Structure 1
């Protein structure tokens, strides 16, 4: 039997038609009714309708697409927010090669300069709770502009920093401005992409952002070695000013309470500048009623913290946070280890960070393809198990309670986490023996291991962030903010103690211990694999009862 949908005609006549299996017919669609519902024109359906007797049926709405933007435009917007998101990693990694130069210039110890890394991570973890909550309430676009303004001002002051105190304070403010771009960007992706596309977009977004991890240390080494460490902040002022102009020009508001599925007409600060001078797309329409924007209250900023009481979400955050902390410890200790073992200057130290940066890009890109493949396979299996036709579309806003999204996202985690643990343990031993590190070309060994550590850790981050976004529909920025809080909090603790660990235990035992910590945390993911779906279903049921 053919599946039938009824639709009001495009004209003002009283006719109604049955749209019968349009898969073989060419149809033209018109958003003609007040609600903006897509209807097939009589001319388009006539050839298909001739095959069956015409019938008059009650009018029903066709399901609206999750988002009206074509895939090419979505990729462009992810590219824009990816470039905006460069600054979180760039601000951190461009700084690493110049730690020794900063210590000498400001006449402080290297341990004191390391405090600026810790303060950066702490603020990077806390500030998205502010920005992310605001962006889930008042919109993505105004918060992008506000956070970039804070970032630019901070870099101007840092470029003039006369002493260590100013450096420490404004590095924190710099983190407050840059860290928000990650959570807001993930919010944008949740706004415009259904779960079937989300894994690929988050991985693509992360790969763009991770380019800064690859190039940042090289730029930092060149700038610090040639013009002094303050030139780093001048460079960041110029680059961030260009990016905020790009955001103002091209990025539309995407928050669904304001922009809907992309078809609602935008005004004021929510409308990109370029849209004011171009032809409006035909699908744009005014909202049926004035948009009721949420008020910003204290609850707005407390709301993300409520996610910490959900068992499945907390388990994901803890496992991802531990991996992030260990990767941060590997990265932040690179300058001291490679300078002492291989005698590198600032420029060569910058180049030594390249494998780490390239690994982050490769890991993100690889796992994005794997997540897309796994989701499609799970979707097919779900339809077969529920006797659904292949053409059936799963709900795009809320994943069905019995859909195994946890197992779908975590399917590749065992081998990725295993390779991460083995690489971390081997990395410490590759730097432990002076007879090995003094051999020509031996530096390649720890650099290859850094590449693997970075690739596997960032693959885990992409899996982790995608699953957390799936578990928190409508809270894209807030869920990323709470993820950042856990990650950066654990990362700050790790970075604060890594130098002491290496000094007291030596690199071999220090990194072996970190690898074993990863192994002991793996059961958290296993628990989520077996019980996560049950917890998610219970949460969905509670939410439904509250809304009733």
Structure 2
């Protein structure tokens, strides 16, 4: 490296001593050359990105394909008798012509003969004579990013979809403080009212598979609008709720409208962000959504205490109407098959109203009318379920589902446990949900920063291992099969899981009747709820980010299948939590749940050791299928 540096320094000093006449002659020749690049290699996939040369009457000037380090070399050479002059490369930054070590040689122009004496290899000869030529006046190639939106625009989008995603958690948690009042006013027992939570979770798990498949095909924006329309209709009916049957049915419809917003939002994040940004975005998105878990029960307690439980649904109706107008006005389509990297011109339902009245950016272009568009078929809804056949994805989903189930059981049992143990009313119970909600926000925010740091560390280690410069960028869509994405995402999981297990076991004992009579004792179970919520949501963020990484191009579908597993298990847990606590008491019940987590932990650990191997196998299988399709099409 020292010898290389000395050669470059020698060449730079020599360039200053050249006569102005040589500069003028070379500059005149260079001004005749123009470069019209067609593609940019920064966010390359696994294939080299071609470039298109601009030609002049006197010759040609070409840009070579990106080399192994992700850079682009300017290649010139002579055509004719002097074959030893092949492979001369100009380095625009150093203004030195050197021998191309990769022999990626193209024709510079007819009749241009080289000078062998000026093309000796500077790395094998002690101090060769260098031919110094001024750098060509070439405009730098505009880099094509993974998405054209600036970082600030992406954060605005995340905020919009985060507000839209509030309703899944808000609709569930705003309801908890009113459970006892609902049972009294509709003349049913508390176990029957708990069925509305179970039905909500079941529909919450199933509906995103349908909505998510539509959004991966038809676009994010139209499915957002459709799902919010369903949600608004459900809230209108729930605002009257004359009996328990209406409440049960339309709570399910409410879940069908609100649950999909989570999976569609994750699809938007995958559309606009490469893996290096995705962890922070998903955690921020989850933190916004989790805000509803913090304030929802407080709002529910206030509304139920002063206006009755039906006022909860009136409030949700007003809020969801405002949000659907915000989506129609501001949210653009992001599905890459429709919007590309954000530079394709949108129309119809995919175009937000704000774009109709504002000046569009200069980079916008018309989409290719002949580009194939995916159609909605039966296969569209089956494909997400195929993800359950992948070992690494299934193990992640099941472990995350178990943690989600235990957290849901802690949350849904709070009303009955705290009302009977501490004698609280609806408003006070609503306030008791605050630590749980704050824990979800804090846990998501902290793990988001940790995930970003871990990914960067893994990326740097990977580059050093493969002798790549730090400026090299990994493929934005599909990470290399030998990149340890599983290690980057799961690095913090052991201590988070340990903290979750300890706090869950301790939570049950904190509610033992012999201790709860002490003044201020209520603070202990509330603090443990904060820890349970923070650690469980940290696990959700880690799991969701990893599953998104393992399912490139299927952001909404991967989240939908995640919801299916989590909410399916959660519905079973919530349905039996009251009976379990009544049978064995809170101490034994939550100790048993902590042990269930310990038993399921190997499902997460196995991905650390075998995840990369399973991922490589999936990529190989996919490549074989694509190859067979090409053969069938040719036949």
What CA distance in whole angstroms lies between the structure 1 residues aligned with 2:37 and 2:465?
A: 37
In structure 2, the gaps of 5 or more residues are 6-33, 39-51, 65-89, 109-139, 628-635
Give the superposition deviation at 1:52.
Answer: 3.6
Instruction: Tell me what 1:233 maps to.
Output: 313
2:153 to 73, 81, 96: 73
Give the superposition deviation at 1:48.
Answer: 4.6
The answer on whether the counterparts of 1:250 and 1:272 sit within 8 Å (CA) in structure 2 is yes
RMSD of aligned C-alpha atoms? 2.3
Aligned CA distance change for structure 1 residues 268 and 515 (closer, same or farther; 3 Å): same
Instruction: Tell me what 2:36 maps to.
Output: 8
What CA distance in whole angstroms lies between the structure 1 residues aligned with 2:63 and 2:223?
A: 44
The answer on whether the counterparts of 1:19 and 1:49 sit within 8 Å (CA) in structure 2 is no
User: Aligned with 2:515: secondary structure?
Assistant: helix
1:536 pairs with 2:577: no
2:434 to 322, 333, 354: 354
The answer on whether the counterparts of 1:204 and 1:364 sit within 8 Å (CA) in structure 2 is yes
In structure 1, the gaps of 5 or more residues are 21-45
The answer on whether the counterparts of 2:396 and 2:604 sit within 8 Å (CA) in structure 1 is yes
Instruction: Tell me what 2:472 maps to.
Output: 392
What CA distance in whole angstroms lies between the structure 2 residues aligned with 1:52 and 1:264?
A: 40
Deviations 1:409-444 (A, max 9, x none): 000000000000000000000001x23111111000
User: Aligned with 2:145: secondary structure?
Assistant: coil
1:480 pairs with 2:559: yes
1:138 pairs with 2:138: no
Give the superposition deviation at 1:14.
Answer: 3.0
Deviations 1:361-418 (A, max 9, x none): 0000000000000000000000011111111111111010000001110000000000
What CA distance in whole angstroms lies between the structure 2 residues aligned with 1:58 and 1:257?
A: 37
2:330 to 244, 250, 258: 250
| Higher Rg of the two aligned structures | 2
The answer on whether the counterparts of 1:258 and 1:291 sit within 8 Å (CA) in structure 2 is no
The answer on whether the counterparts of 1:8 and 1:17 sit within 8 Å (CA) in structure 2 is no
Deviations 1:113-148 (A, max 9, x none): 000000000000000011000000000000000000
Instruction: Tell me what 2:528 maps to.
Output: 449
Q: How many residues align?
A: 519
Matches within 5 A, 1:47-58: 48=92, 51-52=95-96
Instruction: Tell me what 1:435 maps to.
Output: 514
What CA distance in whole angstroms lies between the structure 2 residues aligned with 1:71 and 1:280?
A: 18
Instruction: Tell me what 1:216 maps to.
Output: 296
Give the superposition deviation at 1:58.
Answer: 7.9
Instruction: Tell me what 1:342 maps to.
Output: 422
Identify which range, 374-383 or 60-69, moves more after superposition: 60-69
The answer on whether the counterparts of 2:202 and 2:568 sit within 8 Å (CA) in structure 1 is yes
Deviations 1:166-222 (A, max 9, x none): 000000000000000000000000000000000000000000000000000000000
1:267 pairs with 2:311: no
2:483 to 363, 385, 403: 403
- TM-score for both structures, normalised by structure 1: 0.91
Aligned CA distance change for structure 1 residues 48 and 412 (closer, same or farther; 3 Å): same
The answer on whether the counterparts of 2:35 and 2:53 sit within 8 Å (CA) in structure 1 is no
Matches within 5 A, 1:291-370: 291-370=371-450
What CA distance in whole angstroms lies between the structure 2 residues aligned with 1:453 and 1:9?
A: 54
User: Aligned with 1:514: secondary structure?
Assistant: helix
What CA distance in whole angstroms lies between the structure 2 residues aligned with 1:213 and 1:318?
A: 23
The answer on whether the counterparts of 1:222 and 1:346 sit within 8 Å (CA) in structure 2 is yes
Point out which structure has higher relative CO (alpha carbons under 8 A, 6+ apart): 1
- TM-score for both structures, normalised by structure 2: 0.79
1:64 pairs with 2:108: no
1:285 pairs with 2:329: no
1:499 pairs with 2:578: yes
Give the superposition deviation at 1:13.
Answer: 6.7
What CA distance in whole angstroms lies between the structure 2 residues aligned with 1:124 and 1:452?
A: 25
1:159 pairs with 2:239: yes
The answer on whether the counterparts of 2:53 and 2:63 sit within 8 Å (CA) in structure 1 is no
1:372 pairs with 2:416: no
